[in-house]
Structure 1
Amino acid sequence: MRKILFVSLAALLAACAQVSTTAPGTVGVNRPQYMAFSSDSFNRSMASSYSQMMQDASKKNTLNQDPALTRRVNAIAGRLTPHTQIFRPDAPKWKWEVNVITSDQLNAFCAAGGKIAFYSGIIEKLKLTDDEIAAIMGHEIAHALREHGRERASQQMGTQLGLVVASIAIGANQSQMGLAGDMSKYLYLLPNSREHETEADRMGVELAARAGYDPRAAISVWRKMQGMGESQPPQFASTHPSHQTRIADLERYSAMVMSLYEAASKKQRQSTAQAQ
């Protein structure tokens, strides 16, 4: 049995390819990633889940119920998605989809392959400007570009299998296994998730800037989130950076891409003037 498990672990490690899913862009995100699943199979699975979620929302009459808000979110996505080519040349050709779900949730996401959903609550409760919607959307798109979902699934599978093999090798009991699981959570899985969030923040401000949205809006979004007064666990026990850490990092990286925003804004003004 022990031999079989060691062979299984070796096979998993062999299957985990070291890849770089995106180009670094101006913000310089270039961390190597380890993947145990093919991109195509994972994206198909996520697309199926997204489709089912939208069907369920439609049945509940909560899908795209506000035409003006739906047009607004789609227009912002339409400006952002062409600039995904900076990080991934294949991304503009993804089958992008954008939907708005009527819900009080402060949430938005972009599933693998470009499936975007915004909940009306995050826009209405935070009174988001277009720049702030672009900041959130850029962040969520960055998760999809970096394939963070596929990476997390690969990490979790590898960690679980590794713990089982290790427990058999050293004869660990159930209590010791539980402690090892907690250690792997705090020392590996949670820090990696926080790293994913930071990468998405940095890439998100660049996407927004290139599309002509003020990258500093990402800072105001998190100040608004901080002002909501919701409790936040200590950073070491959270999958997200603390608000203070996040805001400080966004201040640095939004400044880094301000020249991109200014160039895009100038181009838009010239285009508007020519159209008139």
Structure 2
Amino acid sequence: MARLLKSIALGSALALAGCQAVNTTGASAVGVDRKQYMFSMLSTQEINQTYAQAYQDTLRKASAQGKLDTTSSNARRLQVIGQRLIREAVYFRPDAAQWDWQVSLINSPELNASCGPGGKIIFYSGIINKLKLTDDEIAAVMGHEIAHALREHSREAMSKAYGIEIAKLGLGALLGVSQETMQVADAAVQYGMMLPNSRGAETEADLLGVELAARGGYNPNAAITLWQKMAQASQGAPAEFMSTHPSSSTRIQNLQANIPKVMPLYEQARRR
């Protein structure tokens, strides 16, 4: 029954949403070439503009609190690394050359960084200082986050959420199922569709991220030491099945299997 409900939900989403089948990256050495289905009503431009406003709000708040760092050595490191990776991002998406890229550092203890739609990058000082990140490791983090933006994972997640809600509107009437069965359907959708796809997005970002770092002249092996440090700093993380992120051991194994594919790109970049 759960499989039937999931199939109907997905089919209804595709039928009702006006979906577009898109591939948001160019040829990838690590084989990231999955087709993605996006709602046509959720355009790339609109999402980029909306996120840009939220990004500027975050920076204004940090500045008002004296936490926006534009002058430290870490801030300068981020700008240099960012420029190199942004230059290579257009290989995967030529239209990224028109994005209004920004790289910002906020003084805050959390181990976090992000790159939102349209190339809006934020690092928090905690991830650099607590993990004592090298430039190569910063490039691994930044490459991973930029990959999320290049693949439009935020837009994809929103498209799925919209599709599920649209499907649910007509699913109960169509099948004559009870509220309890609809709750089961919700759980089936959550654990059978949303979480695996979320983990899949993380894996794509890992793989595309190491390729992007390699193309920028940063050692892709730093992704291994990065996630080893993250694993050590994240003891007691939730079980992989219930998480939107792959476990550290799974992530590291996958990276180790794919890094040899991008090492020639790294060596070539070093010779430039």
In the other structure, the counterpart of 1:33 is 36
Contact preservation (8 Å) 2:102, 2:121 = yes
Contact preservation (8 Å) 1:163, 1:180 = no
- 1:20 is matched with which residue: 17, 20, 23? 23
Instruction: Provide the TM-score with structure 2 as the length reference.
Output: 0.91
- 2:187 is equivalent to residue 182 of structure 1: yes
Deviation at 1:65, TM superposition (A): 5.8
Amino acid at match of 1:127: K
3-state DSSP of counterpart to 2:121: strand
For residues 1-276 of structure 1, the aligned pairs below 5 Å read 13-36=16-39, 37-64=42-69, 67-267=72-272
Change in 2 beyond 3 A, CA 1:73/1:16? same
Cα distance in 2 for partners of 1:22, 1:177 equals 36
Amino acid at match of 2:175: I
Contact preservation (8 Å) 1:65, 1:102 = no
Contact preservation (8 Å) 2:13, 2:166 = no
Displaced runs of 4+ in structure 1, greater than 3 A?
A: 9-14
3-state DSSP of counterpart to 2:68: coil
Amino acid at match of 1:117: I
Provide the aligned length of Structure 1 versus Structure 2.
Answer: 260
Unaligned runs of 5+ in 1: 1-5, 268-276
Higher-RCO chain (CA-CA 8 Å, sequence separation at least 6): 2
Cα distance in 2 for partners of 1:11, 1:206 equals 32
Contact preservation (8 Å) 1:25, 1:86 = no
Instruction: Provide the TM-score with structure 1 as the length reference.
Output: 0.90
Amino acid at match of 2:26: A
Amino acid at match of 1:187: G
Cα distance in 2 for partners of 1:133, 1:25 equals 21
Q: Deviations over 1:130-154 (max 9, x none)?
A: 0000000000000000100000000
Unaligned runs of 5+ in 2: 1-8
Cα distance in 2 for partners of 1:197, 1:232 equals 16
Contact preservation (8 Å) 2:70, 2:76 = no
Amino acid at match of 2:57: Q
